[in-house]
Homo-oligomer: A and B are copies of this chain.
Amino acid sequence: MMQSYTIGIDIGGTNTVMGLIRNGEIIEKFSLLTSEHKRHTDLIHAMYEMLLPTINSIGKHNFRGIGIGIPDANAETGNVEYAVNLNWDGIIPFAGDAESVFQLPVKIINDAKAAALGEMHYGAGRDLNHFIMITLGTGVGAGVVINREILLGYESKAATLGHTIIYPNGRFHPGSGLYGSLEMYCSAQGVVLTAIEKLNKGLPSLLDNYTTEELSPKIISECAHKGDKIAIETLHDTAITLGKAMANFAHFSSPQAFILFGGLAGAKDFLIDKAKEEMESNLLKAFKGEINILVSTLPDNDAAILGAASLLLN
């Protein structure tokens, strides 16, 4: 048996993207909307239906298995536990249920940890021993790499960095019940909230052309590039929060670099440079000028898909 194929899947709060992988390359991609599926078993069946023709045409015996990156995954047990940004409550036996449906080995890991593994094997982390990946999306996720190993910790709950508190008694996070966590400022929702707070002060802005529901990091970035003051200030505030958080994280694991991923990660002028400046001003002397901020070089969800699939390599 060759078993030269794997399937890598990235399940986010909004989209689920699946990749057919051979020799570390994504040959074909499939996607569906996560949020359209109320129960996790509905999502698993929808993935199965979409992938079945491909699995059958290649032959199931040629597949090593399926690696899935998914929020709040416990890599040890295969369960998804108390997911903050998904529809499902409590402890969900996701890997076990997926194995039953697919009849293939399934390994799961937190989506951001999957992305960090992808960057480590195939992306911006190839030459780094120590780095922290931060994904700026629906939520703020993270994967911490130490000596080229992903940090899991007890019950594989490590690196839930989006839920660290940056501003005590700050914004309330309805999903986690916590106040002032990084995610409430640097997730898509967090950035939009910052913009709305500024717009509510009544100053004119290009952002006035959009409804609250339409506002997104993408639109805010676009308006910032058109010179809109409120949009620029929004990104600057976001950068300052991110920079403070990165300094704290740097003092914890001493990374050589941060690798940022997500829509915001592309906003170099307004976000990355400012975040680096703020990080530097909150670092001990021994750390200053030593830590790079890199932007993921892998397109779309490829890091998470490839990283999740890499779980099957061991």
Interface residues of chain A, those whose CB is within 8 Å of chain B, are: 72, 81-82, 84, 129-130, 144, 146, 151-161, 163-168, 176-178, 244, 247-249, 251-256, 282, 284-287, 290
Nearest Cβ on chain B to A82's Cβ, whole angstroms? 5
Chain A to chain B contacts (Cβ below 8 Å), 21 pairs = A81-B286, A82-B284, A129-B154, A130-B153, A130-B154, A146-B151, A146-B153, A154-B256, A156-B254, A157-B287, A158-B252, A158-B254, A159-B251, A159-B254, A160-B254, A164-B248, A165-B248, A165-B282, A167-B168, A176-B284, A249-B252
Whether A158 contacts B253 in the complex (CB less than 8 A), given A153-B146, A165-B248, comes out as yes
Q: Which residues does chain B contribute within 8 Å of A251, judged by CB atoms? A: 159-161, 163-164
- Chain B residues with CB under 8 Å of A161's CB are 251-252
Task: Report B-chain residues with C-beta under 8 Å of the C-beta of A247.
Answer: 164-165
Are B254 and A154 in touch, CB under 8 angstroms? yes
Closest 3 CB pairs of A and B: A153-B254, A158-B254, A157-B254
Q: Which residues from B are CB-within-8-Å of A249?
A: 252
Q: Is the CB of B166 within 8 A of A168?
A: yes
